[in-house]
């Protein structure tokens, strides 16, 4: 959860600076992955079945979570591409979506 909260803080989501933001954040967690909020939330979601020893629930959560993340990331990146254009394309080429050096 710290990953998701820290990412929100880094983009100014918890302050009045978020409204009308015109820059692409590429510092902090965003330096390594493009969607740290989604990554943090997904890790927390996977942690619950692990904590309670529910392997079937973990598998179902993982499958549904990956499908959901792929859809959400695709729609979010379309919006960011429209807003930031070539700057975001460069960021996509240089940074992984959720897991550094893997995805």
CA 51 to chain centroid? 23
CA 54 to chain centroid? 25
Output the pLDDT for position 10.
66
Residue with tokens 């379309």: 78
From first to last of the 103 residues of the chain, give the pLDDT tens digit.
667 766 766 676 655 554 455 678 788 888 888 988 888 889 889 998 988 888 999 999 999 999 999 999 999 899 999 999 999 999 999 999 887 777 6
Domain map (residue ranges) of the chain: 2-94
CA 77 to chain centroid? 11
């Amino acid at each position: 959860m710290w990953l998701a909260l820290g990412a929100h803080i880094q983009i100014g989501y918890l302050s009045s600076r978020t409204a009308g933001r015109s820059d692409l954040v590429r510092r902090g967690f965003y330096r390594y992955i493009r969607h740290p909020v989604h990554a943090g939330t997904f890790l927390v979601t996977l942690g619950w079945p692990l904590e309670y020893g529910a392997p079937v629930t973990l598998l179902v959560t993982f499958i549904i979570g990956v499908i959901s993340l792929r859809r959400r990331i695709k729609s979010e990146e379309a919006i960011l591409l429209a807003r930031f254009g070539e700057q975001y394309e460069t960021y996509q080429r240089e940074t992984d979506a959720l897991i550094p050096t893997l995805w």
